[in-house]
Structure formats: C-alpha cells, structure tokens
Amino acid sequence: MKEYNLDKRHIIKLEDKSVDLKTNDLHVWYGQNEAIKGVSLEFEENKITSLIGPSGCGKSTYLRSLNRMNDEINNTKVTGEIIYQGIDINADNVDVYEMRKHIGMVFQRPNPFSKSIYENITFALKQHGINDKNYLDEVVETSLKQAALWDQVKDNLGKSALALSGGQQQRLCIARAIAMKPDILLLDEPASALDPISTGKLEETLLNLKKDFSIIIVTHNMQQASRISDYTAFFYMGHAIEYDTTNKIFTRPKIQATEDYVSGHFG
Ligand SMILES: Nc1ncnc2c1ncn2[C@@H]1O[C@H](COP(=O)(O)OP(=O)(O)OP(=O)(O)O)[C@@H](O)[C@H]1O
C-alpha cells in the first residue's frame, strides 16, 4: 500500500461564484473514531458536485452531515460550520426539520413509503400542514415531471409505489425530495442499486434538475462523476484532499493520490 502525504492538498475557492452551501473546518466523530477531519468546501449554486474516494474515506458521513442526518446516529459529534444562506445550520438553535425542507436527501437504496405514488409525494407536505388539493395535485405533477417519471405514472397515481421498478422508485424518491422545493439535493450513491439503463435515465434526470437545484452526490462510479458533475472532491482518510472542476480532477489532478485514484492505480 502506497503512503500518501496527507498534508498536500489542492482545494479551490469559488470566489467569484454563487455559493449555495459551504463547510468550514467540519469534523465528525463516531465515538472515538474521527471520520471527518476538518473539511472546508464550497458548493456552487445550480451545479453538480461529486464526492469521490475509496471506501471508508468519509464521503457518506460528510454528505449526511450537510443536512444533519448524522444527528440521528447515537454517539456522533459534529463540530465546525455548515453555512447555508449565511446561517450556520450546525448551530444548536437551528430547527432541523425546517432546514431539511431546504436541503433534501435521496438515499442509496430506493426507499419509497408503502403508500400510493401520490401519497409518497404529498406525505411530507401534509405533515407540514399543506392540504389544499389543487396545490398538492400541482406539486405531484411538477415533481414527477422534474424527476422524469410523470409520463409513466400519470394514469396510475393511486398505485402502490412498491409496484414500480427500482429505477422508477429511485426517481419517485427524487420527486418526493423535490416536492418540498428544496434548494439543495444530497444524493448518496443513488444509482448503486440500479441497472445501466436506469442509471442512464437517473443521470439524465440529475442533469435536468441542476437548473433548479444544487446537487451534491456521492458516487463510486468514476464515469458517472465525470459525465454529470461540474465539480469533484476527492476524499481520503477523512480529509478532502483535492477539489476542483471535474475536468481538472480527471485530466490534470494536482495531487498524486487523486491521480492514482481516478486512473485506477490507487493504493
Ligand atoms: N453509523 C456509523 N457508526 C459508526 N461508524 C461509522 C458509521 N458510519 C460510518 N462510520 C465510520 O466512519 C468512517 C467513514 O465511513 P463512510 O461510510 O462515511 O465512508 P464512505 O467513504 O462513504 O465509504 P463507502 O464508500 O464504503 O460507503 C468509516 O471508518 C466507518 O466505519
């Protein structure tokens, strides 16, 4: 196993860009295990950013901390700032439930509720007290259109979501997340349980969604990162080692570990 110098980093700052979300010196501990060791990254609005790196480097932990999903895990500690619209959403007084309306998440395995397609999308809205039928109908249609699922399900909105294919279920989960009209969508390996055709459709959907949302995605798939993302961050052993435009990361990385990883010669 090659030893890499973890002090050598290359992290770009998005000075002249519109930054939607950023972290400053973010650390995450599971008990004694420090999984994220001071990560400072900025995410541009209406762009797709991929988080890549070897298994166990902390990509999912970092992603989950961006809308405080790690709060749900016992014995976790998160320090540092997560700045969204000028507010540190890692602060104690933040209403996490409210914040997640702005920063939504889609998980690795499609996890629709055991309810109808329509109810999957309206569930969270109803929880937030929205019951106007016309409004809910409109949100269902718009969200399903944005998630490229409307044409396939529009005549069967009362059908169980569990009867959809895996790829359709994952697009339904995206529709469910965007029904809340978030600004930012976090996706943790959303295509890992999908076949190549469904993966292609999902990637196309994400490319269409970026005009309305900022997207941050964890992926193991190098081709996927290079096909869909504008920026890529390479993680290793709890650090963000290199962060740049996707083109530079895949063609002219500045750090040896990144170069080895993207060229398949890592470790
Ligand atoms: N719920 C948890 N409880 C305790 N430790 C955890 C938990 N989730 C992750 N870890 C630990 O945190 C570190 C980073 O894991 P994480 O899942 O974030 O990495 P990853 O880069 O996303 O890995 P993979 O690509 O395999 O999904 C690992 O040491 C892992 O064992």
Nearest CA to ligand 1 atom 9: 61
DSSP 129: T
Q: Provide the residue type at 198 as one letter.
A: S
DSSP state of 160: B
Residue 3 lies in a domain: no
Number of domains in the chain: 1
Q: Of 32, 37, 60, 192, which is best to mutate to test ligand 1, by the most ligand atoms within 8 angstroms of its C-beta? A: 60
Q: Please tell me whether residue 264 adopts helix, strand or coil conformation.
A: coil
Neighbours of 121 (CB within 10 A): 28
Residue type, 263: S
252 lines ligand 1 (CB under 6 A): no
At residue 193, the pLDDT reads 82
Backbone conformation region of residue 203, classed left if phi is above 0, alpha if psi is from -120 to 50, else beta: alpha
Give the CA dihedral 96, 43, 65, 69, nearest 10 degrees: 50
60 C-beta closer than 6 A to ligand 1: yes
- H or E segment at 252? none
* Beta-ladder partners of 52: 234
Q: What is the pLDDT of residue 5?
A: 87
Give the residue, out of 36, 52, 59, with the most ligand 1 atoms within 8 A of its beta carbon, to mutate for a pocket test. 59
Question: Is residue 2 domain-resident?
Answer: no
Contact 12, 40 (CB under 8 A): no
Task: Kindly report, residue by residue over 176-225, the tens digit of the pLDDT.
Answer: 999 999 999 999 998 888 888 889 988 999 999 999 999 999 999 999 99
Task: Tell me the C-alpha distance between 168 and 189, whole Å.
Answer: 16
Q: Which atom of ligand 1 is nearest to the CA of 220?
A: 25
- Residue 4, in any domain of the structure: no
pLDDT score for 68: 96
Question: Which residue's alpha carbon is nearest to atom 2 within ligand 1?
Answer: 30
In the block, which residue shows the tokens 């809205």?
Answer: 125
Q: For residue 5, is it within any domain?
A: no
pLDDT confidence of residue 194: 82
Q: Is residue 34 a part of any domain in this protein?
A: yes
User: Is 59 a domain residue?
Assistant: yes
Contacts of 68 (CB under 8 A, 6+ apart): 78, 82, 89, 90, 94, 96, 99, 100
ipTM value: 0.97
Is residue 125 a contact partner of residue 180, using CB atoms and an 8 Å limit? yes
Nearest to 167 by CA among 148, 185, 142: 148
Q: Which domain holds residue 173?
A: 10-262
Among 98, 97, 95, 103, residue whose Cα is nearest residue 22: 103
Q: Using CA atoms, how far apart are residues 106 and 92, in angstroms rounded to an integer?
A: 24
Side by side, the strands of the sheet bearing 214-218 are 10-11, 239-245, 231-236, 48-52, 214-218, 184-188, 103-106
Task: Report d(CA 33, CA 78) in Å as an integer.
Answer: 12
In this prediction, residue 143 carries a pLDDT of: 95
In this structure, the chain runs to a length of 267
The residue whose CA has the least distance to atom 16 of ligand 1 is 58
- Residue 162, in any domain of the structure: yes
CATH number of the domain enclosing 108: 3.40.50.300
pLDDT per residue, tens digit, the chain (267 aa), is 778 888 899 999 998 999 999 999 999 999 999 999 999 999 999 999 999 999 999 999 999 999 999 988 889 999 999 999 999 999 999 999 999 999 999 988 889 999 999 999 999 999 989 999 999 999 999 999 999 899 999 999 999 999 999 999 999 999 999 999 999 999 999 888 888 888 998 899 999 999 999 999 999 999 999 999 999 999 999 999 999 999 999 999 999 999 999 999 887
Q: Which mutation among 39, 52, 61, 72 tests ligand 1's pocket best, with the greatest number of atoms within 8 A of CB?
A: 61
**Residue 1 maps to a domain:** no
238 sits in the region (left: phi over 0; alpha: psi -120 to 50; else beta) called left
